[in-house]
Amino acid sequence: MSLAHSTILSATTALAISACLASGAAWAQAAAGDFVGSAKCAGCHQAAYKTWQESNHSKMVRPLKEGLLKDALDNWARDARGQAGPSKGNIDGKPYALDDVVYVIGSKWKQRYLVKNAATGNHQFLDKQWNRGSGLWENYGQKNDWETQCSTCHATGVRITAYDPKNTAAMKVSMSEHNTGCEACHGPGAKHVAARGRGGQIFNPRKATKAEADKACGYCHLRGENDNWLTAQGNHSEHLPHPVLGDTFKAGQDDWTQWYAGKVLLPGIQPEDSIKVNHPNTDLNNAFFIDDEAQKSGYFEARKHHQQYQEYLQSKHAKQGLLGCSDCHSPHSVKGNTLKANETCKGCHDAKMDYKVLMPGTAQTAGGLFIRSHAFNPNPRKGGLTGDMLPPPVYAYPK
Ligand code: HEC
Ligand code: HEC
Ligand code: HEC
Ligand code: HEC
Ligand code: HEC
Ligand code: HEC
């Protein structure tokens, strides 16, 4: 889709939106579309809800007084090396205090901090991130609003509802809930809930092919660069809003791998975007190892984080359709059956197989802290410190 085309769409949808605004509540319902929110699912799927709440999928974006890490609080002014904590907005350059933080992002590997961006009504990042590996502050320079740069991967039912490429600061984004809610992986649930679960009407990845089921995870566990939707600051974005203005990704219904051909860079996913070469001046710069070792082995392991899907597609596991993400990961226990990633190798491989060697931490997520590779390269590189080697996070305001 060309930018000119989206401008036209924007004009017609803007009309529809203003018509709906007149009728208040009706529009709120239409905007939420067919998404009802995870709390609605809890009534009938208590076990799934409970285990989902325990997972990090439900904890990515939280209010300060819920998600702030204790170590970050204790070191807010200065860390053990005397380095100052967050103090400045990345977009407006103004000073901000701890109390100005609206949301904290992440807690397993690192934590980033969001304050209001008065110019757009969205949220901007503070200038430092907390590294749980080193226990120190490090610089963080992201200069785009969270809503328009990251949100489709950190929230559910994200929609761009107003957009003009000539005035991106005025763009509007809505979402049905923060975090990876039930409907991020199962698609919209309104029809299913209305029918009280009878007649399906909701995506069950277990009933899909492994390749199709993995696409529901791949939508967020990848790295791309999007020219179709710019950020509020007018830059290429890193997340993948639905190509149709006002619409949102519906797992099991939308094949996002086919979206906006020619206007997005998805190495290893779209055939024209090679994973074997570098893509300088983009977010994909140095995203995968492409050195001699990689060219020889044919495995291009990740150097940046959230690229599991692009790595996994290279593996024999995926190429031979042997197993998909949810054969090793359970996002929630289903009928009492919780899968544990590190126990799954033994069923098929020699009991001596060590996933810690075969899935090394190659992808740097913060200084000296790495994410485990999913390329399943039989001769993997040496890895660094990974999140599972750290103690569980301790929060400043435990419930
Ligand atoms: C009013 C009760 C009710 C609510 C609310 C509800 N479900 Fe269900 N759901 C059911 C029933 C009943 C079934 C089918 C029986 C079974 O096998 O558990 C079902 C089945 C499912 C399945 C399997 C479908 C299939 O085709 O195999 C999924 C996935 C699911 N629900 C997800 C959700 C999600 C996500 C939500 C919230 C958006 C939700 N449900 C809300 C009652 C409900
Ligand atoms: C990160 C993605 C993800 C999230 C979030 C998620 N699910 Fe699932 N869900 C799955 C996958 C994958 C399966 C299939 C599991 C399998 O292959 O064993 C599944 C299966 C199910 C099933 C069907 C069980 C069956 O017997 O087939 C139900 C019901 C369900 N989920 C409900 C929920 C509810 C309720 C929530 C929110 C509290 C939720 N899910 C959140 C990915 C997710
Ligand atoms: C809407 C985006 C989204 C979708 C869809 C999604 N994830 Fe995630 N996933 C995330 C984010 C964001 C995190 C990091 C959460 C955090 O650390 O707070 C994450 C974290 C994880 C983790 C690490 C959790 C931990 O505790 O270490 C695993 C494993 C994972 N996802 C697997 C899956 C699988 C399997 C699927 C598909 C069934 C899936 N994800 C679908 C966004 C998503
Ligand atoms: C294409 C989807 C995607 C985009 C875009 C994205 N993320 Fe993430 N992010 C993820 C996933 C998936 C994870 C967890 C897996 C991993 O890190 O390998 C993650 C992890 C994180 C973590 C670490 C979480 C923890 O618990 O330690 C932080 C912090 C984070 N992202 C912030 C951001 C910010 C800020 C942006 C925007 C500038 C952004 N992300 C853009 C998908 C995405
Ligand atoms: C459902 C069975 C199954 C499970 C579970 C499984 N694998 Fe595999 N794996 C296979 C098969 C089959 C192959 C392909 C063997 C071949 O064609 O040479 C393979 C290939 C591999 C390879 C590539 C080997 C090569 O010589 O190219 C690696 C590495 C690997 N698996 C590691 C793991 C790890 C680590 C785990 C656990 C986290 C795991 N596997 C879980 C079945 C499985
Ligand atoms: C053969 C089994 C297997 C498959 C298939 C698999 N994973 Fe994993 N995954 C693991 C193991 C083992 C770990 C490391 C231990 C842990 O974190 O539980 C892991 C860790 C992760 C992490 C956290 C990274 C870290 O450094 O701890 C994420 C995120 C993740 N997997 C996502 C995915 C996604 C998305 C897919 C599908 C594209 C997938 N995984 C497929 C076995 C698997």
Answer yes or no: is 203 within a domain: no
User: How many of the other CB atoms lie within 10 Å of CB of 232?
Assistant: 26
Ligand nearest to the CA of 221: 4
Strand order in the sheet with 225-230: 236-237, 225-230, 264-265
Count of domains observed in the chain? 2
Name the residue among 223, 376, 362 with its Cα closest to residue 302: 362
pLDDT of residue 200: 75
The residue type of 79 is: D
Answer yes or no: is 86 within a domain: yes
Six token digits for residue 101: 């933080």
Q: Which of 35, 41, 45 to mutate to test the pocket of ligand 1 (most atoms within 8 A of CB)?
A: 45
Name the residue among 111, 107, 109, 108 with its Cα closest to residue 125: 111
Angle between helix 25-32 and 3-22 (nearest 10): 140
Six token digits for residue 353: 């197989």
Render 298-320 in DSSP notation, one character per residue.
----BSBSS-HHHHHTTSHHHHT
Of 104, 126, 143, the position where a domain reaches its end is 143
Answer yes or no: is 179 within a domain: no
pLDDT of residue 36: 96
Cα-Cα-Cα-Cα dihedral sign, residues 328, 331, 337, 342: positive
pLDDT of residue 8: 31
Distance in angstroms (rounded) separating the CA atoms of residues 370 and 360? 9
pLDDT of residue 16: 35
pLDDT of residue 356: 92
Distance in angstroms (rounded) separating the CA atoms of residues 313 and 319? 7
**Backbone phi, then psi, for 110, in 5-degree steps?**
-155, 165
Render 42-56 in DSSP notation, one character per residue.
HTT-HHHHHHHHHSG
pLDDT of residue 341: 66
pLDDT of residue 339: 65
Answer yes or no: is 31 within a domain: no
Answer yes or no: is 149 within a domain: no
Residues of the domain holding 332: 267-389
Of 97, 118, 143, the position where a domain reaches its end is 143
Answer yes or no: is 41 within a domain: no
pLDDT of residue 33: 62
Å from CA of 204 to ligand 2 middle:
7
Q: Are the C-beta atoms of 125 and 140 separated by less than 8 Å?
A: yes
The SS3 of residue 342 is helix
Ligand nearest to the CA of 111: 4
Each residue's pLDDT expressed in tens, for the chain with a length of 399 residues: 233 333 333 333 333 333 333 333 333 343 446 999 999 999 999 989 999 999 999 999 999 999 999 999 999 999 999 999 999 999 999 999 999 999 999 999 999 999 999 999 999 999 999 999 999 999 999 999 999 999 999 999 999 999 999 999 999 999 999 999 999 999 999 999 999 999 778 999 999 999 999 999 999 999 999 999 999 999 999 999 999 999 999 999 999 999 998 899 999 999 899 999 999 999 999 999 999 999 999 999 999 999 999 999 999 999 999 999 998 888 886 655 666 666 778 878 988 888 999 999 999 999 999 999 999 999 999 999 999 999 999 999 987
- In this prediction the pTM is 0.94
- For residue 18, give the H/E element and its range: helix 3-22
Identify the DSSP state of 333: -
Rounded to 5°, the CA angle 162-164-167 comes to: 115
Our answer on whether the CB atom of 34 is closer than 6 Å to any ligand 4 atom is no
pLDDT of residue 175: 97
Distances, alpha carbon 102 to alpha carbons 140, 146, 176, 212, 353, in Å: 17, 12, 18, 36, 44
pLDDT of residue 308: 98
pLDDT of residue 28: 38
Give the residue carrying structure tokens 């998600």.
67
Identify the DSSP state of 381: P
CA 56 to centroid of chain Cα atoms: 11
The residue type of 174 is: S
Identify the DSSP state of 73: H
Q: List the beta bridge partners of residue 130.
A: 111, 137
Distance in angstroms (rounded) separating the CA atoms of residues 367 and 136? 9
pLDDT of residue 338: 62
* Ligand 6 atom having least distance to the Cα of 315: 5
* Ligand 5 atom having least distance to the Cα of 347: 5
Of 116, 143, 170, the position where a domain reaches its end is 143
Q: Which of 202, 326, 330, 332 to mutate to test the pocket of ligand 1 (most atoms within 8 A of CB)?
A: 202
Å from CA of 374 to ligand 6 middle:
7
Answer yes or no: is 375 within a domain: yes
Distance in angstroms (rounded) separating the CA atoms of residues 6 and 8? 5
Answer yes or no: is 222 within a domain: no
